[in-house]
Amino acid sequence: MLGGITVEYKSELDGGGIEFGQDFIPFLRSRGMPKQTRLFEWCAGPGFIGFSMLGHGLCETLCLADINPAAVARCRNTVRLNHLEDRVSVYESNNLRSIPKSERWNLVVSNPPHFIDQYAGDIRAHDPDWAIHKEFFNTIHSHLADNGVIILQENNRGSTVATFRQMIDDAGLEIVFTHGDHKERTHESAFYFIGIMKKGAVVPMWAADAS
């Protein structure tokens, strides 16, 4: 149960969203984020983060997508089981390629694959040449509301904020806050958040950098 929603999954689909991914809830509450109209969980797996945010009242409606048909099937089961058909849309999609053009999100969250140089062949963990991140940054613009915020949960064992800064800038986006990151890659897993918006967007108080 996550926020009162029974989330169906198989352990091989869990990328940590049921554990450290739940940090999104206290993190966003501590920032005073108001309830968002429509939330998208990118690289959703079984939707641990998205369903939990819906259940905890942090969004009104939810959109989930993943490339893995097995994960998408679990998301659809969870929707049926919890009678959420009127509030949740689920897409099987390589990145954003099969998402309807009409989808527009106020908030995007994700615990995407975290490593460029480890776990080759594991779609939960490996992002070769950061191609999945780059494509996401380059295709998110038309789906993101003008004052929409993207929050990625990354792992300092696989990246630093600097890893993503240029790709975010090249895509017409900018980092509006970071939280919990280290300057260098760490030996142990250490998760951090990056908040991203369209360049020049008005940053809501809750998403402004505290430093």
- Helix, strand, coil percentages, rounded to 5, for the chain: 30, 25, 45
Query: What mask, x for binding ligand SAM by CB under 6 A, covers residues 4 to 23?
Result: ----------xxxx---x--
Q: How many helices and strands (H and E) does the chain possess?
A: 5, 7
- Specify the residue, 14 or 181, whose C-beta has the smaller distance to ligand SAM: 14
Reported in sequence order, the residue ranges of 43-143 that DSSP labels E, i.e. its strands, are 59-66, 88-92, 105-110
Q: Which stretch binds ligand SAM (CB under 6 A): 38-46, 159-167, 169-177, 185-193?
A: 38-46
Q: Does 138 participate in binding ligand SAM (rule CB under 6 A)?
A: no
Tokens representing residue 200 in the block: 């020049």
111 is a contact residue toward ligand SAM (CB under 6 A): yes
CB of 49 to ligand SAM, least distance (A): 6
Question: Is 118 one of the binding residues for ligand SAM (CB under 6 A)?
Answer: no
85 contacts 91 by C-beta, under 8 angstroms: no
Span from 23-31, 65-73, 159-167, 185-193 in contact with ligand SAM (CB under 6 A) = 65-73
Figure out which of the listed residues 112, 148, 158, 195 binds ligand SAM, where binding follows CB under 6 A: 112
What's the rounded Cα separation, in Å, for the pair 56 and 195?
A: 20
Residue 211 C-beta: closest distance to ligand SAM, Å: 27
Residues 57 and 52: their CA atoms lie apart, in Å, by 9
Cα–Cα distance measured from residue 126 to residue 12, given in angstroms and rounded to the nearest whole number: 15
Q: Which is nearer to ligand SAM, 40 or 201 (CB)?
A: 40
1 C-beta neighbours (distance < 10 Å), count? 9
Give least dist CB 202 to ligand SAM, A: 29
CA 85 – CA 30 distance, rounded (Å): 30
Size of the site for ligand SAM (CB under 6 A): 22
Helices (H), 56-181: 69-81, 131-139, 161-170
Tell me if 55 contacts ligand SAM by CB under 6 A: no
The answer to whether 70 contacts ligand SAM (rule: CB under 6 A) is: no
Q: Contact residues for ligand SAM (CB under 6 A)?
A: 14-17, 21, 43-45, 48-49, 66-68, 71, 94-95, 111-113, 123-124, 132
